Amino acid sequence: MIDLTPTQRRAFRAQAHHLHPVVSVAGNGLTPAVLKEIDNALQSHELIKIRVYGEDRAQRDSILATVCTELDAASVQHIGKTLVVWREKREEESSSAIPAEKRRKSPAKAKSAKVLSANRGMSSLSSKAPKKPHWFAAAPGKSRSGPQR
């Protein structure tokens, strides 16, 4: 678990004021899937709010302690049913395993308008699109051009 100085904690509380809860912990409690979602949110945002639905304050304290120890995060604030947690972004392991040789695409060849139109076909340019049907049919004997005199 990371310890924050009071100055850091104050700054993070100010930043978290405008945030909405990203993860909710409901009746099933802190499951491995919820922990993974919190981990993903911390990796993306660093500073997150967690909403815990439950009336027991001791249970919310234990959830906060578990999240901080399991995910190596710092507790910023616990007000009511809202927990604020911070963790610095970690480097992803997949970025270190970049293959040494990547396949390179051949450079694109410039095409003239003549080549492009030949590929598309001139017939598609000259044909008109079919008319769309009207939502309602015109009454028999009446024209759609306007009132008759």
And the tokens for 42?
């911390």
- Cβ atoms of 44 and 9 within 8 Å: the answer is no
Between 138 and 6, the more confident residue is 6
What mean pLDDT is predicted for residues 48-63? 93
Would you list the domain boundaries of the chain?
6-86
Rounded to an integer, what distance in angstroms lies between the CA atom of residue 67 and that of residue 50? Answer: 10
pLDDT value of residue 106: 64
Rounded to an integer, what distance in angstroms lies between the CA atom of residue 90 and that of residue 41? Answer: 12
pLDDT value of residue 72: 93
Rounded to an integer, what distance in angstroms lies between the CA atom of residue 23 and that of residue 78? Answer: 15
In terms of C-beta density within 10 A (0-12 exposed, 13-18 middle, 19 or more buried), how is residue 83 classed? buried
**CATH number, span 6-86:** 3.30.110.60
Taking CA 99 as the corner, what is the angle to CA 98 and CA 103, rounded to the nearest 5 degrees? 120
What mean pLDDT is predicted for residues 112-139? 61
Q: Which helix (H) or strand (E) holds 131?
A: none
